[in-house]
Amino acid sequence: MKNTKPVMVLGATGYVGGRLIPKLLSEGYKVRAVGRSQAKMNCRPWAGNPSVEIVEADVADLDSMKRASEGCWSAFYLVHSMNSQKGKFADADREGAKNMVIAASEARLKKIIYLGGLGELDDPKISHHLKSRHEVAEILQSGSTPATHLRAAMILGAGSASFEILRYLVDRLPVMLTPKWVRTPCQPISIANVLNYLQGCLEHDETDGGTFDICGPDVFTYRDLIGMYAKIAGLPKRIIIPVPFLSPKLSAKWIHLVTPIPSSIAQPLAEGLSIPVVCKNNQIRDIVEQKLYSCEESMQIALKRIEQELVETCWSDAGAIIPPEWLYCGDADYAGGTILESGFYVRLKGTPEKAWESVVKIGGKTGWYFADTLWWIRGAIDRLVGGVGLRRGRRHPREVYVGDALDFFRVLEVEAPRRLVLLAEMKVPGEAIAQFEITPAGPGVCELTILSRFLPSGLAGILYWYVLLPFHNIIFYHMLKNMAKSTRMPIVRGPKPITPGRKDACVLPLK
């Protein structure tokens, strides 16, 4: 019989948490989804399930953690700081784990289940991030609530950071100069098996408080995995040349240039590749029995889901959404024309729902409706200077959620069929958004607008805006014109420039 209280899932919009929640719901559990952005969680397919409670909380905020834990019976702790550029990720992870221990104790939770990483602490090459994950496990297990620590190596699944690095490197590089760690043994695990182990620990009390290695059935080197992926993907055999001079930092920069994974995430992953990550014990297999997918099966499943556009969660989903304060209406600090604007509108004969179809597909394989070569060049330049570039694409070709990565934008707000607001994450001297809005404009007529808004940072930002403004105007005009054509709705008027500073250009506070 299932517990009538909810189980708390921390990291609800992350790669693992976003898949664990629908699995638990399908098994009859009540779930309290916990994350830093309620808007992101509200957009997830499982948000409307009557067995889901959505609670906004931050592991760094003890009071919010206490509120989120109250009334739950167990918790999944699926929180990691991966961004090496933050500098103090270990302090953040340490503080979050301590707050979880206190909150769990006060809420009298029955158990905590934590997903960490493989790698032995006594290995001199262990990375700072793996050390931090072990420290988090130690802190969680030091409390009064039994904490189960699952240690995993590379997770194979559509959208996982590790699999995406492998996929893009092999797809794009017929010849690879690789560091010595290409010969390091690794025991990957399918995301499906990870989810089964997580749920299994919830159901098997004999795992309470224990530490277990979770792996698939195969041990390979990274070189073997490169060859295996190429074969499964139908690619020619890749030429691999190990070299001694590629440090983790250089490897991360190379990964950043070739794959969608930014160097800030690639670096901790690359640092962890130099040590063996192989199961020391298989005790968990006797407690949580399941079919373990081989590496080949896991890759085949992942590729099939990508081809079928069925990627439920992606590495880029994780992270807090921090919308710039100036986006909100009525902010007197920014009154007086500091925010620079440019945009166009077109009036179409038809419904907002029909016009929305062109908006919701923007980016990714659809492109930006005009000058895709220029967009590609802008993305390449951004990548070279350390930005995210265009390679992230989008998780799904026809769906967008708050928090989704969309090329070098992040979805701040989506309200179908009315509004899509994108925050620019490329390197620019200021803060920028792109806003698409559809409004009724008379009987049987709707208005589609594109609006770019920019808060410059100093003189460089102002120069950047005015130097590029003529080019932006040309691009936005033709973008809107082609978007209108793609709807197959008659154009009643436009495209025409919109009036800067109009009230309906404001972004409403996120709900």
Question: For residues 85 and 306, which has the higher predicted lDDT (pLDDT)?
Answer: 306
Could you please state the CATH topology (level 3) that the domain comprising 325-505 is classified under: Alpha-D-Glucose-1,6-Bisphosphate; Chain A, domain 4 (3.30.530)
d(CA 109, CA 107): 6
* pLDDT of amino acid 505: 45
φ, ψ (nearest 5 deg) of residue 82:
-100, -15
List, for residues 159-200, the tens digit of each pLDDT value.
888 888 888 889 888 998 887 778 889 999 999 999 999 999
φ, ψ (nearest 5 deg) of residue 340:
-95, 140
Residue 447 pLDDT more than 80?
A: yes
Task: Indicate the average pLDDT of the chain.
Answer: 86
List, for residues 133-151, the tens digit of each pLDDT value.
999 999 999 999 999 999 9
* pLDDT of amino acid 55: 95
Residue 453 pLDDT more than 70?
A: yes
Confidence of residue 334 (pLDDT cuts 50, 70, 90): very low
* pLDDT of amino acid 330: 45
Q: Classify 389 in phi/psi space as left (phi over 0), alpha (psi -120 to 50) or beta.
A: left
* pLDDT of amino acid 356: 95
d(CA 12, CA 196): 17
Lowest mean pLDDT among 122-126, 301-305, 464-468: 122-126
Structure tokens that stand for 106 in this block: 């006060």
Instruction: Using DSSP, state whether 482 is helix, strand or coil.
Output: helix
Residue 250 pLDDT more than 90?
A: no
List, for residues 43-52, the tens digit of each pLDDT value.
888 988 999 9
Compute how many other C-beta atoms are within 10 angstroms of the C-beta atom of residue 382. Answer: 19
Percent share of the chain, pLDDT over 90: 53
Residue 253 pLDDT more than 80?
A: no
Residue 507 pLDDT more than 50?
A: no
Give the pLDDT mean for 6-34: 94
Residue 302 pLDDT more than 80?
A: yes
The sign of the dihedral angle between the CA atoms of 217, 223, 224, 229 is positive
Give the pLDDT mean for 222-239: 93
Strand partners, 445: 349
Strands 147-152 and 211-214, sheet pairing: parallel
List, for residues 387-414, the tens digit of each pLDDT value.
777 777 888 888 888 888 888 898 988 9
Give the pLDDT mean for 51-67: 95
Burial class for 87, CB neighbours closer than 10 Å (0-12, 13-18, 19+): exposed
* pLDDT of amino acid 503: 44
* pLDDT of amino acid 13: 87
Residue 504 pLDDT more than 90?
A: no
Asked if 412 contacts 316 with a C-beta cutoff of 8 angstroms, the reply is no
Strands 239-242 and 52-56, sheet pairing: unpaired
Which H or E run includes 76?
A: strand 74-77
* pLDDT of amino acid 331: 44
Place of tokens 């928090």: 403
* pLDDT of amino acid 305: 86
The sign of the dihedral angle between the CA atoms of 140, 37, 422, 489 is positive
* pLDDT of amino acid 85: 46
* pLDDT of amino acid 316: 66
- For residue 127, CA distances in Å to 81, 135, 425 come to 13, 12, 28
